[in-house]
Amino acid sequence: MASPGAKLGLQTIGSEQERAVAVVETEKQGDVAVIRMNNPPVNALGHALRTGLEAAFADANADPAVQAIVLTGTGRFFSAGADITEFASGMKEPFLPQVIDTIEASTKPVVAAVNGTALGGGLELALGCHYRVAAKDVRQLGLPEIKLGIIPGAGGTQRLPRAIGVEKALDLILSGAFIDAKAGAAAGLIDKIAEGDVVAEAVAFAKAHTAKPPRRIGQQTIDAAKVPAGLFEKARASIARHPSGPLAPKCAIDAVELSLTLPVSEGIPRERQIFREAAASPYARALQYAFFAERQAANLPGIGADVKTRAVETVGIIGGGTMGTGITLAFLNAGIPVTLVETTQDALDGGVNRIKDTLSANARRGRITEAQAADRLAKLTPALELKDLGKADLIIEAVFENMALKKEIFAKLDGIARSGAIIATNTSTLDVDEIAAVTKRPQDVLGLHFFSPANIMRLLEIVRAAKTGNDVMATAMGLAKRIGKVGVQAGVCDGFVGNRMLAAYAEEVQAMLLEGATPTDVDGALETWGMAMGPLAVADLAGLDVSYRIRKERKLVGERAQLARVPDKIVEMGRLGQKTGAGFYKYDANRKRQRDPEIEALIRAEGNAQQVRQKAISADEVVERSLLRLANEGAKILAEGIALRASDTDTMYLNGYGFPAWRGGPMWQADHLGLAKVAERIKAYHAQYGERWKIAPLIEKLAADGGSFAALDKKKR
């Protein structure tokens, strides 16, 4: 072995090996070999890294001068787990379970110096080490595989229960939640929290353990008596509407349950079988697609890392209503001071109290501490004058959905906002170009369309107007991540991307009601299929008056007016949804919905009045017609360039419209069904129902060429 502290490497015999060497470095600190993973950006355990680790451990174990081994990562990452990009292309040996078994079998103590994020295979790697020393600021420890529609596949379902107990392990694996180093130590996952340099403290820890036989988690047994009775039954009963779909949660429970009865040497091969079953499902493919789609959405063509973003350290919000206060909370929660402007003291007090109530409720529920709640409230400045926003870096208008009012406010802001400030509108449908045109600084104007409740919903539709500057778009995209949102670009058209598709979907729902379906039939079918909430229940939650006002502004005619008759009549009866205790449904004191025969009769009468041929509509038809209208409208939007990618549309529906991630999104569903089949079905509906089902030329073309939305997106990269 070369002199202490020297960098060691494998003999280079080919490019794969070169990569393996490049991503694993071994350094000697006295008689301790420090093996460092260096595979940016997240130390994903791809083939090269697995190969490099296997070789580095073989080397260190064979070296008589080495008494102990420390494994660590680089930068913010220990390892973010298996390389998800390898899933589609298939993995090559050495497989991760093998590498981890080799590490656990080491005859010399192996200490993981967990310098940062350790997730999935990354945490399984650390569990294969004999001891774990973590840096005190580590926030992300977990096995989130379930969010990708799979289960831990490198021993996590067998070793984690032995390390922290079956109940905690099952909870972490089923939720995919992250824990920090402190919680890890409390659970028994982490042996020592490093106050200083984690590698140095891990080396010292290792030296202190060279005399003892290594402690292998894989050899530990589980005391079944300590497992709460009925744990697995309760878990199985709790996964009916798991956000990862019907299969992976069941697989996770089955695998963890094996840890009670099988030794690790038998449990891991069984885990692998179950892993493969989950990985082969369309739900896993949809969730992995969603993972990358969300990250892809942040890439704006022509706007590279060289585009300088603007500083946003203070924000002004105009309007203390539901949206204004939700948006204010989103910024306060991210530690960004907000000045909230309203026109009257009462309205302002109303808004401030709503914010106070939400913060104290979050503290009461333990989501934040009292101190954090107080700190966030201290960052709020109520105001009654627009001029108080003169210093704000970003101003967001969130007033009533009325063009004249918004233009009046933007004309005033043009004279008030500091030079270089970004001025945004939270409109959900109106023309942002028209709003920008009342200012002398259209390059500083864009749409920031939040979704209610704005402090909860992850989606932020970033509406790029014709003159919006690249730096403003880049700033908005970065800001979205900073406030915990998923930013997705949309162009200007009526309803932008999300609401324009929603209008087509909602229209088809109304058509199915007039043909004979009931609200319960429609919502029931879509919720059983996986939607978080059916479209009519969502309409009642959002308030039927909101869409009523938009329809009245639009002055609908022809079939569109006919299809809006039922919701119009319901609103004109004073039934605005949950907030009035009745809409498409009746609501009890706990806001639980109940079918309402009066509304079902109203719908029947309207269907007959419009002489709509009545028919039984199956749940499958409800789902098919809803999805195809969404995909067809999505394809038109894509062809017009209003959405950059089909995957952006899906990212919007997953994060803003309650579309289940394990179903991928409307465009992914269309690809999954096959565009030839989609085209055939749309044409069949067009023949039956006419113009509203006119096929999008893009679908017709892709179907004819054997193409797909995914392939189209790939071409654009």
SS3 271: helix
Alpha carbon of 256 to those of 56, 99, 132, 209, 604: distances in Å? 31, 21, 22, 30, 51
Burial category of 370 from C-beta neighbours within 10 Å (exposed 0-12, middle 13-18, buried 19 and up): exposed
Q: Is there binding between residue 271 and ligand T1G (CB under 6 A)? A: no
Find the shortest distance in angstroms from Cβ 159 to ligand T1G.
11
Choose, by CB under 6 A, the member of 24, 35, 42, 637 that binds ligand T1G. 42
d(CA 646, CA 657): 16
**Which region among 153-161, 185-193, 629-637, 664-672 touches ligand T1G (by CB under 6 A)?**
153-161
Closest CB to ligand T1G among residues 36, 50? 50
Q: Is there binding between residue 402 and ligand T1G (CB under 6 A)? A: no
Q: Is there binding between residue 41 and ligand T1G (CB under 6 A)? A: yes
Say if strands 315-318 and 445-450 run parallel, antiparallel, or are unpaired. unpaired
Choose, by CB under 6 A, the member of 31, 54, 59, 145 that binds ligand T1G. 145
Find the shortest distance in angstroms from Cβ 156 to ligand T1G.
6
Find the shortest distance in angstroms from Cβ 175 to ligand T1G.
13
d(CA 145, CA 150): 5
SS3 227: coil
Choose, by CB under 6 A, the member of 110, 119, 129, 445 that binds ligand T1G. 119
Find the shortest distance in angstroms from Cβ 651 to ligand T1G.
13
Of 145, 342, 508, 633, catalytic: 145
**Sign of the C-alpha dihedral computed for residues 331, 334, 338 and 342 taken in this order:** positive
Of 16, 18, 86, 124, catalytic: 124
Residue ranges in 85-114 that form contacts with ligand T1G under rule CB under 6 A:
85, 96
**Which region among 141-149, 412-420, 554-562, 606-614 touches ligand T1G (by CB under 6 A)?**
141-149
Sequence-distant (6+) residues with CB within 8 A of 461 are 447, 448, 449, 451, 488, 490, 496, 497, 498, 652, 656
Q: Is there binding between residue 128 and ligand T1G (CB under 6 A)? A: no
Find the shortest distance in angstroms from Cβ 66 to ligand T1G.
27
Q: Is 277 a catalytic residue?
A: no
Is residue 116 within 8 A of residue 73, CB to CB? The reply is yes
What string marks each residue from 351 to 390 as x (binds ligand T1G by CB under 6 A) or -?
----------------------------------------
Q: Is 691 a catalytic residue?
A: no
d(CA 544, CA 212): 69
d(CA 488, CA 463): 8
- 3-state helix, strand, coil split of the chain in percent (to 5) is 55, 10, 35
Ordered alpha helix ranges (H), 370-518? 370-378, 403-416, 432-436, 470-482, 498-515
**How many residues appear in the chain?**
717
The one-letter code for the residue type at 155 is G
**Which region among 38-46, 130-138, 196-204, 302-310 touches ligand T1G (by CB under 6 A)?**
38-46
**Sign of the C-alpha dihedral computed for residues 587, 590, 592 and 595 taken in this order:** negative
Closest CB to ligand T1G among residues 307, 612? 307
Closest CB to ligand T1G among residues 142, 469? 142
Q: Is there binding between residue 120 and ligand T1G (CB under 6 A)? A: yes
Q: Is there binding between residue 152 and ligand T1G (CB under 6 A)? A: yes
How many residues make contact with ligand T1G (CB under 6 A)? 26
Choose, by CB under 6 A, the member of 51, 72, 115, 117 that binds ligand T1G. 117
**Catalytic residue IDs:** 124, 145
Residues binding ligand T1G (CB under 6 A): 41-42, 44, 80-85, 96, 117, 119-121, 124, 140, 144-145, 148, 150, 152-154, 156, 292, 295
